[in-house]
């Protein structure tokens, strides 16, 4: 399952940027 998601992200750079933004939001939540 994880490998399929990685392939999808690799084929879609825009989606990769969105995931990075989501990860930043998640890390901020954990830091606060």
Residue 2, token pair as written in the block: 């994880």
Distances 23 to 2, 11 between C-alpha atoms, Å: 16, 19
For the stretch 1-32, pLDDT in tens is: 467 877 777 788 888 888 889 889 988 888 76
pTM of the model: 0.46
What is the pLDDT at residue 2?
63
What is the pLDDT at residue 15?
81
Rounded Cα distance between 27 and 19, Å, is 12
């Amino acid at each position: 399952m994880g490998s399929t998601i990685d392939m999808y992200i690799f084929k879609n750079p825009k989606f990769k940027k969105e995931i990075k933004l989501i990860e930043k939001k998640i890390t901020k939540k954990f830091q606060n």
